[in-house]
Amino acid sequence: MAEPILFYFDFTSPYSYLASERIDALADRFGRKVQWRPVLLGGIFKALGTVSLVKQSGQAEYSVRDFARSARFLGVPYVPPANFPVSTVAPARAYYWLHGQDCSLARRFAHEVFRAYFAAGRDIADAAVVLELAIKVGADGTALAAGMSDPAIKDRLRAETDAAIEQGVFGAPWIVVDNEPFWGADRLPQIERWLETGGF
């Protein structure tokens, strides 16, 4: 059986959100599974000494325009967040804790967080909001609140981010299909061709 597709993302990355709305259905058409792995882009940028596209000189205005246009192009609901980017430590920790309990719950939670931030104006940096979203998709809020401050979960998120850096991830979304890395939601058509053809 083929290895799962790896989907590295940060909950505050607009192009990650766009990819998150398409990657499972795309993989499914080719009988493939996707492993979702939130990481902290801030940690990656710090390790590499880089900055996000949106913070590079001259690029902010274009980026904001391209986020919204790319969402319209893909038919994904998108309302530019008032605070951008935000810390995603809380939802990423919650994701890994939930994933340890029930991976389909974790997937529903991840969609809920992305949509709350990029379409419904919620503050996903706020642990209380994260708990509310998790409860909405079926999580046990009390257990999750404890889980999010478990040192093992904090370590897990750090370890996933470090592993991503080691594998060459420098931005998000970062999607790996059979060892072939693809950076950006705009590489979805290439990923589709790769899955169709087994590499081109």
Residues that bind its own copies in the complex, under the rule CB under 8 A? 48-50, 56-59, 61-62, 65-66, 69-70, 72-73, 168, 170, 181, 183-184, 186-187, 189-190, 193, 200
- Shortest gap between Cβ of 63 and its own copies (angstroms)? 9
User: At which residue do the structure tokens 């949106």 appear?
Assistant: 54
Question: Quick one: CA dihedral 118, 183, 65, 70, positive or negative?
Answer: negative
- Shortest gap between Cβ of 101 and its own copies (angstroms)? 34
Tokens of 49: 């000494």
- State which residue, 3 or 180, has the beta carbon closest to its own copies: 180
DSSP state, 171?
S
- State which residue, 132 or 192, has the beta carbon closest to its own copies: 192
- State which residue, 77 or 141, has the beta carbon closest to its own copies: 77
Q: Is the link from the previous residue into 173 a cis peptide, with omega within 30 of 0?
A: yes
Classified as helix, coil or strand, 133 is helix
- State which residue, 31 or 58, has the beta carbon closest to its own copies: 58
- Shortest gap between Cβ of 171 and its own copies (angstroms)? 8
Classified as helix, coil or strand, 127 is helix
Tokens of 62: 């274009």
- Shortest gap between Cβ of 163 and its own copies (angstroms)? 14
